[in-house]
Structure 1
Amino acid sequence: MTKEELLGLSKKVCKNTLMETLNIEFTEIGDDYLIAKMPVNSRVHQPDGVLHGGASVALAESVGSMASYVFLNTEDFFVRGIEISANHLKSIKEGWVYAKATFVHKGRTTQLFEIRITDEENNLISIVKLTTIALPKKK
């Protein structure tokens, strides 16, 4: 899939979703990874003005689930996240955060991702582990 195809797909599947609400954009695709970015502003702040951990987790699950969607046969399967855990290591008040989802395990049924969320200077903000499952579509 090319970057242009990814952008077209993401605009289609993200319309009227949390990804659209949080302004999550998918920016880069490789053989085994997917990158998305999200602006850090008052829409994703916790009360003291820094990035909310829940927004980071939403970004991570969005990029990991989209990676499963892109790299698996979604004509026959649909993807769901089944477990997620995050460690938040650094706070950020403004700018952009970038989430890179890479496969740790790419099974037919379950997939495991490591998702590293960084800021514009490549400082590690959060590290997330996401497990997704591919379930057969009913015919």
Structure 2
Amino acid sequence: MPIDASQLPSLHGPTVAGQLNDRMGIEILSASLEEVRGRMPVDGNRQPYGLLHGGASGVLAETLGSVLAAMHALPERFPVGLELACTHHRAATEGFVTGVARPIHVGRSTSTHEIVLTDEQGRRTCTAKLTCLHRDTEPTVRPS
């Protein structure tokens, strides 16, 4: 049975401080079973030529797609990323990029989501597809 956004673990609470979403400035703007919207600043996430780093676009895409997968899979199953594919269409150089994740397929053991990133002018900068595996057991972190 799907959950609503209020039941998701916090993406910006004390348990995630200093983690990747926090370090990259990712904000979740809205979340429903139909779509998850979020944004990330270009500043601080650029490659050496001053353009938004393609890996940063991938992080935003995977974050939004994973939140959407979690809303469909939790609390019975635990989604983890299985495959991420990104096509970069144009560079972003300033402001924010906004992403919208929508489900393509939601099943018991996997889900696939399309994530479209746009710049502040509404131009598509990246199209991504994320497939998540829905695990029966919660992933555990082993001490390093």
Q: TM-score, normalised by structure 1?
A: 0.88
Corresponding residue for residue 31 of structure 1: 33
Q: Per-residue deviation at 1:10?
A: 2.4
Instruction: Give me the whole-angstrom Cα distance separating, in 2, the residues matched to 1:8 and 1:82.
Output: 20
Instruction: Give me the whole-angstrom Cα distance separating, in 2, the residues matched to 1:71 and 1:77.
Output: 9
1:7–1:27 contact (8 Å) kept in structure 2: no
Equivalent residue letter for 2:71: V
Corresponding residue for residue 73 of structure 1: 74
Is 1:122 aligned to 2:136, yes or no? no
Percent identity of equivalent pairs: 31
Query: Gaps spanning 5+ residues in structure 2: where?
Result: 139-144
Q: Per-residue deviation at 1:92?
A: 1.0
Q: Per-residue deviation at 1:104?
A: 0.2
Q: Which has the higher strand share?
A: 1
Q: TM-score, normalised by structure 2?
A: 0.85
Corresponding residue for residue 83 of structure 1: 83
- Match runs of 1:32-47 below 5 Å: 32-41=34-43, 43-47=44-48
Instruction: Give me the whole-angstrom Cα distance separating, in 2, the residues matched to 1:50 and 1:27.
Output: 23
1:7–1:26 contact (8 Å) kept in structure 2: no
2:8–2:71 contact (8 Å) kept in structure 1: no
1:29–1:35 contact (8 Å) kept in structure 2: yes
2:86–2:129 contact (8 Å) kept in structure 1: yes
Corresponding residue for residue 96 of structure 2: 96
Tell me the secondary structure at the aligned position of residue 45 of structure 1: coil
Equivalent residue letter for 1:127: T
Aligned residues: 134
Instruction: Give me the whole-angstrom Cα distance separating, in 2, the residues matched to 1:32 and 1:77.
Output: 19
